[in-house]
């Protein structure tokens, strides 16, 4: 897709894997329903049709479920759409009486694939389907339909199939272009947010924190003088003032840690997390375990990893009621960040679905992962959740 939103021969991005999995299971359901109908109704060539459904359509559908679970991007490639069309061609070859049913299913499949592929790729898949199915009619004679009626039906099918693919694909492409523009604005906002956090943290460190540390030292000296001169009440007041000062210094430093490692150039991701652990323990009663590879990364990369970790931990505590979180960061051939908690998980909610309310932080985690040119996956069970980020190592000098 070009900068101005014009469609190209590229598949539009998938926001959530749930529709991919639903489509895969729907394909299985339709196949099993077809087998049941063939067995219940019985018509010419039903044996061959049942053999094709059981030997071709069902294994193909099961393979798509496995792909949808393990590699969702592969389950919605144009090759998957072509496979669906070839499956329908095989069904019609086995039983020409399925002529009408095959075309109904072809239009339904094309609508879904055009949604996954976008404008031009969706139309290309539609063209392949029309060429294959209409060509089959030309070669076999159209099964139960012949002559001018066959021509009429095929023209209507071609028009319906191509218009469905073109319209659904165009709508999806336009929606994707708008979403990408909004995402680019979000990314620029996140970058600017990092700069603001750095400025705030430096201002706190160089201003209020230093002033309060100096005030604490002055109060300590004043208390010693008051006790030396026999003024216990003054000493008590000064001790109370020192306690307030120390509490505020600690609070300010906690807030500085929350701003992330990019607040200070000398603070790494691991150092920022180690300083966060007592804060999380004090605030949430959370126990943690760390396994961090020591690897020099750009400050912005450290910051994005920290913000993802922080958001994942907050979600685990506030929404998952977690008591323990395990954090690991491996930097070998690529970056792999893993945050695993023992909370209650997300239930039936797809955490990365853009339509789900109340999970803006999860969307920001995905955006930050993509800023690293990587990907974010979330695995959820009733026993806990795992947030995994995979990204390439930044090149030297980035």
pLDDT at residue 187 tops 70: no
Instruction: Name which of 51-55, 340-344, 362-366, 380-384 the model is least confident about.
Output: 362-366
Residue ranges, CATH 3.30.565.10, the chain:
277-398
CA distance 394 to 373: 9
Cβ contacts of 39 within 8 Å, gap of 6 or more? 46, 50
Confidence of residue 179 (pLDDT cuts 50, 70, 90): low
Instruction: Name which of 48-62, 104-118, 275-289 the model is least confident about.
Output: 275-289
Tell me the C-alpha to C-alpha distance, in Å, between residue 305 and each of 22, 104, 381: 31, 48, 23
Cβ contacts of 324 within 8 Å, gap of 6 or more? 286, 287, 288, 289, 341, 342
Cβ contacts of 108 within 8 Å, gap of 6 or more? none
Classified by CATH at the fold level, domain 277-398 comes out as Heat Shock Protein 90 (3.30.565)
Highest mean pLDDT among 59-68, 287-296, 350-359 belongs to 59-68
pLDDT the model gives residue 160? 92
- Encoded tokens for 245: 């000062």
CB 241 within 8 A of CB 221: no
pTM: 0.54
Higher pLDDT, 38 or 255: 38
């Amino acid at each position: 897709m070009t900068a101005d939103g014009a469609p190209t021969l590229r598949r539009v991005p998938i926001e959530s894997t749930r529709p991919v999995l639903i489509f895969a299971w729907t394909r299985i359901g339709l196949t099993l329903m077809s087998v049941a109908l063939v067995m219940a109704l019985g018509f010419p060539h039903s044996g061959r049709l049942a053999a094709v459904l059981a030997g071709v359509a069902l294994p193909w559908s099961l393979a798509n479920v496995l792909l949808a679970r393990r590699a969702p991007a592969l389950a919605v490639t144009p090759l998957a759409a072509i496979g669906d069309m070839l499956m329908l061609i095989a069904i019609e070859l086995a039983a020409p009486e399925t002529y009408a049913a095959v075309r109904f299913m072809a239009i339904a499949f094309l609508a879904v694939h055009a949604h996954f592929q976008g404008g031009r790729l969706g139309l290309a898949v539609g063209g392949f389907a029309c060429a294959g199915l209409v060509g089959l009619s030309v070669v076999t004679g159209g099964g139960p339909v012949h002559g001018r009626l066959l021509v009429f039906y095929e023209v209507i099918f071609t028009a319906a199939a191509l218009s469905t693919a073109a319209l659904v694909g165009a709508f999806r492409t336009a929606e994707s272009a708008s979403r990408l523009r909004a995402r680019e604005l979000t990314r620029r906002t996140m970058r600017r947010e990092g700069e603001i956090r750095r400025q705030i943290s430096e201002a706190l460190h160089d201003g209020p924190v230093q002033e309060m540390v100096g005030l604490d030292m002055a109060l300590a000296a004043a208390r010693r003088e008051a006790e030396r001169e026999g003024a216990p009440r003054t000493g008590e007041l000064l001790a109370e003032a020192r306690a307030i000062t120390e509490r505020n210094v600690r609070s300010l430093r906690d807030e500085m840690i929350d701003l992330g490692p990019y607040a200070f150039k000398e603070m790494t991701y691991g150092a920022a997390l180690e300083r966060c652990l007592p804060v999380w323990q004090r605030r949430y009663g959370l126990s943690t375990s760390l396994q961090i590879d020591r690897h020099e990364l750009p400050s912005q990369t450290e910051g994005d990893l920290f913000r993802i970790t922080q958001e994942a931990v907050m979600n685990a505590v506030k929404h998952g009621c977690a008591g323990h979180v395990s954090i690991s960061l491996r930097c070998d051939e690529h970056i792999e960040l893993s945050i695993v908690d023992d909370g209650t998980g997300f239930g039936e909610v797809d955490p990365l679905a853009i339509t789900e309310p109340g999970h803006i932080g999860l969307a920001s985690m995905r955006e930050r992962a993509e800023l690293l040119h990587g990907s974010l996956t979330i695995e959820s069970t009733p026993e806990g959740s795992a947030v995994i980020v995979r990204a390439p190592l930044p090149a030297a000098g980035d």
